[in-house]
Amino acid sequence: MNKTKSISVNACRALLALTFIFSGFVKAIDPLGSQYKIAEYLEAVQLSAYVPDWAQLMLAVGLSAVEFTLGVLLLLAIRRRLASKVTLAFMAVMTAVTLWLTVSDPIQDCGCFGDAIRLTNTQTFLKNVVLLSASIVLTRWPLYQVRFISKTNQWIAFYFTIAFILTASLLSLYHLPIFDFRPYHIGQNIKKGMEIPKGAKQTVYKTTFICEKNGVTKEFTEDNYPYDDSTWVFKDTHQEILEQGYEPPIHDFSITDQQTGDDLTDSILTRDGYTFLLIAPVLERADDSNFGEIDAVYEYAKENGYGFYGLTASTDKAVKHWRDITGAEYPFYTTDGTTLKTVIRSNPGLVLLYKGTIINKWSHNDLPQQDELNAPLSLIETGREPEDRTWTKIVLIIVCYVFPLAFLIAADRIWSWTRWVRKREEWLRQKEDWLKQKEQSNRLYQLLKRKRQMRKKIVAGNWKMNETLQEGVALAKEINESLKAEKPNCDVVICTPFIHLASVAQVLDSSLVGLGAENCADKEKGAYTGEVSAAMVKSTGAQYVILGHSERRQYYGETAEILKEKVRLALANGLKVIFCCGETLEEREAEKQNEVVKAELDGSVFNLTAEEWKSIILAYEPIWAIGTGKTATSDQAQEMLAYIRSIVAEKYGKEVAEETSILYGGSCKASNAPELFAKPDIDGGLIGGASLKAADFKGIIDAWKK
């Protein structure tokens, strides 16, 4: 079952990661194209007037960077829980948006893959449903994702990825997109791109004419249009596609002289020789900082007999303003604004044609300089179509991003492996030394064996926040009676909520069952509303108190210093302390369990004197096994308790360590207690849920008789 989950989760993770990386990258390297698409969405919901262009551009760059980075986080399993939740939220929003697009159809192309891949709205919605399902699987079982980088070094990959994708966006914004997926790429003949092959399926349209007569508006088709009735006044028309036919890559390119109404498309595209097109979709917002370089290119074109035309979708007023501020003398013609934005991602940008074929493109930041234009275009590099550098760019991306990331992963894996080897060797060396010492002195071995037999065996119940007062008293009575009938072979302790202590103390036979609290305050007394001091706990008749439980550390922020003070006050009031320690699942997977446990003991109890230590009972509770149904194997538990005993020995000596009772806690049940308690270093259990039923608790206690 776990293997199936692992395969499913990692397959979903790979699908999401690769989709996000590709989608984020193709949009990140075309930030203006992404901005134009965001503008379409804003227009569809009538919000474009409220979001300025610079905010749209920042949103475009930011969303692309987030999508790409999220894909890399999923691919490398970085911050698995957080990345999975963010992915689910992202896909939920995107699926809702594409459902709206599918139903309402306000935009023809959602732009999820930029211009690289175009999907219909229905295809995009179905794609998002699949990705949403994959993100649900990922969120349900995030820890089944296989890590490639240890937690220690994940931040390097994270920040390196953000720096890379933002740099790619800024370079594409300042110059032109790194890869050009649009039909107006270098090498494309615009006229040929508009041709429809012979025999290609034609698109079938339905044209509706709206006319008015005597205040009555009526719609007509081409079949019933009232050609013979001039009293009907034409008002408007609209078309809808009944059957989609072949659509050429370029289908919306036209050049019109607004002054004369003439269509100049053919004359410019079939012009012999070179033609410069200055593309400025919106002249009002065009960058005029390089107008001197534009004028220099125009003068060069005029001197060599090349065409030079400005194309814009702006009004005559905007053209006049441009001429006033730049002194431009070249003619301006009208072309659809969306088409111009597709031709080149720069406002303005320069396109060089040769007999209608796009030879080169330049952003307004990269215009040809005068020293480059020192001869006719046919004789210089500027007039030749540049070599296809697609593979060069791919290799550059691999060298600048993929190789460093791969090197980081390899170095991290080697570092983690050598660290594990060193720790393993150290552990084996310590174990070997201990075994040698054990073998060298049979007398010491016999002493240690007797100490093991003398060590107190304990089963302690931790009721946590369960049972009302009446239920708690009844449960205590039931436990007490069951132990009266059959004497236990170990010490038994029940630790109850504060309100139970005094009442439960009255129904327990203290020779059979000890009583403990689940916590006490780190203050002796005073104005600390809601707190219960160690002295108060002692006054109820309790002899024990649990301190350092992971739930207190996790939910109530108990630190080592706070616990240190609690331990001091508990001991000062004659209470025996059951002190808990243990690691999380992530710490266990990172093989940090030893250092975590040692740090918890160092910070709170290893400051005690040898005399004070006699009142300490340790409880190892792997946090990943508390209340989860998961249990550490008996070998895992033995290994950890042996390690804990070894560090107690380092601090207080072997004899004290052998006299210290160390309990195991974490989904301990009657079924697995005999196997656990049979291990030489496990002296009993700290029992949670199973202590709330007398029969289950008794079953664990009886494990000491097996």
Provide the token pair at 141. Answer: 């079982």
Tell me the DSSP string of 344-377: -SSSSEEEEEETTEEEEEEETTSPPPTTT-SS-G
- The one catalytic residue in 500, 549, 558, 658 is 549
Q: How far apart are CA 548 and CA 554, in angstroms?
A: 10
CA distances for 597 relative to 107, 583, 652, 667, angstroms: 58, 7, 17, 19
> Where do the H-state alpha helices sit in 463-521?
469-485, 501-507
| Interstrand relation of 274-280 and 349-354 (parallel, antiparallel or unpaired) | antiparallel
By CB atoms closer than 10 A (0-12, 13-18, 19+), residue 392 is exposed
Provide the token pair at 612. Answer: 């004070």
Return the amino acid letter for 55.
A
CA 310 to chain centre: 46
DSSP state of 48: G
Binding residue per annotation — 480?
no
Q: How far apart are CA 684 and CA 701, in angstroms?
A: 9
- SS3 state of residue 543: coil
Looking at the DSSP assignment, which residues form a beta bridge with residue 274?
354
Is 310:331 a contact under the CB 8 Å cutoff?
A: yes
Binding residue per annotation — 689?
yes
Binding residue per annotation — 464?
yes
Is 1:126 a contact under the CB 8 Å cutoff?
A: no
385 is an active site residue? no
Binding residue per annotation — 624?
no
Plot region of 684 (φ>0 → left; ψ -120 to 50 → alpha; else → beta): left
- The one catalytic residue in 467, 600, 621, 639 is 621
User: SS3 sequence, 60-77?
Assistant: HHHHHHHHHHHHHHHHHC
Q: How many residues would you count in the chain?
A: 706
CA 581 to chain centre: 31
Q: How far apart are CA 155 and CA 272, in angstroms?
A: 57
621 is an active site residue? yes
Spatial strand order of the sheet with 233-243 comes to 216-220, 204-213, 233-243
Binding residue per annotation — 592?
no
Dihedral (CA of 184, 189, 191, 194) sign: negative
Q: How far apart are CA 185 and CA 115, in angstroms?
A: 12
Phi, psi torsion values for 520, nearest 5 degrees? -155, 165
Q: How far apart are CA 514 and CA 265, in angstroms?
A: 98
Provide the token pair at 349. Answer: 């940008």
Binding residue per annotation — 462?
yes
Binding residue per annotation — 539?
no
Q: Tell which residue, 375, 330, 554, has the closest CA to residue 322.
A: 330
Residues annotated in a binding site: 462-464, 627, 667, 688-689
Catalytic annotation, residues = 549, 621
Residues annotated in a binding site for substrate: 462-464, 627, 667, 688-689
